[in-house]
Amino acid sequence: MAEAILEIDLDAIRANWRALDAHSAATVETGAVVKADAYGLGMEKVAPALAAEGARRFFVALAEEGAALRRVLGQGPEIFVFSGHMEGDGPLLADAGLVPLLNSPEQVRRHVTALSGHPFGLQLDSGMNRLGLEPEELGLLRADLPEAPRLVMSHLACADEPDHPMNARQLAAFREMIRGFDAPFSLAATGGILLGPEYHFDLVRPGIGLYGGLPFAEARPVVRLDLPLVQTRALAPGEAVGYSVTWQADRPATIATLSGGYADGILRALSNRGRVFADGIPCPLAGRVSMDLLTADVSHLKDVPGLFELLGPHQSIDDLAADAGTIGYEILTSLGRRYRRVWRGEGPAGEDAA
Ligand SMILES: *Cc1c(COP(=O)(O)O)cnc(C)c1O
C-alpha cells in the first residue's frame, strides 16, 4: 500500500491540555480552540477527548464549524464563534446554541435585531487590528447592550515573543477597555498562557499547544507521519532528479522515492530543503516535492527501510516548518486527506474500558 500513515495521539492532546491548564491558577478556566477541524487533526475525535479531559468552553472560527461541533459534543459545552455574527448566521447560531463573539458595531446591531435574547460575547481590538471593537466603538455601544456578554476577549499579536513590547501594550489596552464590565474576560491563547498570570484573566483558550506546537515547547508531540518507500534507484554522477532537474548527483547516489507529496500537504517549499528519517538517520530531500511523491538521498544508508518518518520523534512539526519557511500551525492544517489516519490513545474516558 502506498498510503502514508498519519498517527494522531489523543492521549498526548489530553496531556497537553492538562499541562496548559496547570500553567494557570485553579480559578482560571482552560478552554480549547478546535477551529479548522482541530487544526487539521479531526474535530470529531479531538473535541470529545478534550471534553472528557474537562474542557467546557470551545472556540471555532465559523458558525458552520460551530454547528458541526455541536453535533459532535451534544448539549452542554459552550461554543464560541470568533468571526461573530455574520449576515445569515442567525439560524445556525440559534439552532446550534452558539455564542458569537461580536466584532463590530454592525455585528452588535445585527445580533440584537435578529437574535434578541440570544447570548453573545464581545471581541475587542487591543492592538492587533484584525478583528474586534475599537475602544471608541465600545464606548459608544456599551450602555446599549441588552444584557451582559458571556465573554469579553481580545487576542495578542506577539505572544510567541515574550520580550516583545506589544504584549504589555495590549495587556494595558485590554485592561483599560474592560474596566467596569461585568463579564468573564479572556486574552491568552497558547502564547499568552506562557507569558504569566497577569495575562490569564478568567479564561485561557489554547490551540496550537494542545496539538504539540510551539510556543509550548514542553508539549508532547501529537502527530507521527510515515511515508512508504515506493522504489529506490541508483544514479551515476551527473544524473538529475525530479521536475526541473534541480538536484544533480555529484557522485554515485541512491535515491528513494516515497509516497507523499504536496497534494498531501507536504509543502513544495521543502524541495531540496527538508529531511526525512530512516530509523532515525536523516536523509535530505533531493529534488522537487511533486504532487504525490518526494525523493530523498539515501546513499549513506546501509539498509533502506520500508517507511520513512516525516514527522515524529526525530522531526517535530516546528522542525519541518522551519525547513519550509513557515510555522507548525501551517504544517498541521495542511495535513492531507489521503493519509491513513490512525488514532492512538483513548478518546473519551468512557471508552477506556474497551
Ligand atoms: C486561533 C486562535 C486562538 C488559539 O491560538 P493558539 O496560538 O493556537 O493557541 C485563540 N484565540 C483566537 C482569537 C484565535 O484566532
Residues of the chain short of pLDDT 70, as ranges, are 347-354
Residue 294 Cα to ligand 1 middle (Å): 32
315 lines ligand 1 (CB under 6 A): no
Q: How far is the CA of 80 from the centre of ligand 1 (A)?
A: 12
- Active-site residue (options: 35, 39, 199, 339): 35
Residue 13 located in a structural domain: no
Number of domains the chain is built from: 2
User: Is the same domain home to 192 and 254?
Assistant: no
Query: Nearest residue CA, atom 13 of ligand 1?
Result: 155
290 plus 141 within the same structural domain = no
pLDDT of residue 353: 34
Predicted local confidence at residue 180, as pLDDT: 87
Tell me, yes or no, whether 175 lies in a domain.
yes
Domain boundary among 157, 186, 210: 210
C-alpha of residue 190 to centroid of ligand 1, in Å: 7
Which CATH number fits the domain that encloses residue 277? 2.40.37.10
Q: What is the pTM of this model?
A: 0.96
Name which residue sits closest to atom 10 of ligand 1, judged by CA. 189
The range of the structural domain enclosing residue 172 comes to: 31-210
Question: Is the domain of 178 the same as that of 85?
Answer: yes
Q: What's the gap in Å between 112 CA and the centre of ligand 1?
A: 26
Q: Which residues pair with 295 in a beta bridge?
A: 257
Tell me how far apart the terminal alpha carbons of the chain are, to the nearest angstrom.
29
**Is 50 found in the same domain as 75?**
yes
120 C-beta closer than 6 A to ligand 1: no
Point out the domain boundary residue: 210, 239, 264.
210
Ligand 1 atom nearest to 209, measured from its CA: 9
State the cell numbers at 260. Answer: 507523499
pLDDT of residue 347: 65
Q: What is the pLDDT of residue 352?
A: 40
CA atoms within 13 A on the CB side of 341: 16
Answer yes or no: is the C-beta of 241 below 6 A from any ligand 1 atom.
no
Tell me how far the alpha carbon of residue 195 lies from the centroid of ligand 1, in angstroms: 15
CA of 132 to the centre of ligand 1 (A): 14
Cα–Cα–Cα angle for 202, 203, 206, nearest 5°?
A: 155
**Can you say how many angstroms the Cα of residue 77 is from the centroid of all Cα atoms in its chain?**
20
Q: State whether the beta carbon of 189 lies less than 6 angstroms from ligand 1.
A: yes
Q: Is residue 258 part of a domain?
A: yes
Q: Is the CB of 33 inside a 6 Å radius of any atom of ligand 1?
A: yes
Domain shared by 36 and 165, yes or no = yes
Mutation test residue for ligand 1: of 59, 83, 333, the one with most atoms within 8 Å of CB? 59
Is there a contact between 338 and 4 (Cβ–Cβ < 8 Å)?
Answer: yes
Span 162-214, pLDDT tens digits: 999 999 999 999 999 999 899 999 999 999 999 999 999 999 999 999 999 99
Q: Is there a single domain that holds both residue 35 and residue 115?
A: yes
Ligand 1 lined by 205 (C-beta under 6 Å): yes
Whether residues 234 and 188 share a domain: the answer is no
User: Does residue 349 form part of some domain?
Assistant: no
| Angstrom distance (rounded) from CA 256 to CA 312 | 19
Final residue in a domain of this structure, among 210, 231, 263: 210
Q: Are 339 and 2 in contact (CB under 8 A)?
A: no
| Residue 248 and residue 185 share a domain | no
Q: Which residues pair with 185 in a beta bridge?
A: 152
Do 169 and 247 lie in one domain? The reply is no
Q: Are 229 and 256 in contact (CB under 8 A)?
A: yes
Q: Is residue 179 located within the same domain as residue 110? A: yes
CATH of the domain at 195: 3.20.20.10
Residue 143: per-residue pLDDT: 87
> Which residue's CA is the closest to the ligand 1 atom numbered 4?
207
Do 315 and 229 lie in one domain? The reply is: yes
Question: What distance in Å separates the CA atoms of residue 60 and residue 80, rounded to the nearest whole number?
Answer: 6
Q: State residue 215's pLDDT score.
A: 98
207 lines ligand 1 (CB under 6 A): yes
| Set 39, 45, 211, 243: catalytic member | 243
112 within domain boundaries:
yes
Residue 26 included in any domain = no
CA atoms of 310 and 303, how far apart (whole Å) = 18
Q: Are residues 181 and 247 in the same domain?
A: no
Query: Is 20 within the bounds of a domain?
Result: no
Is 72 part of a structural domain of the chain? yes
Which atom of ligand 1 is nearest the CA belonging to 153? 13
Concerning whether 329 is annotated as a catalytic residue, the answer is no
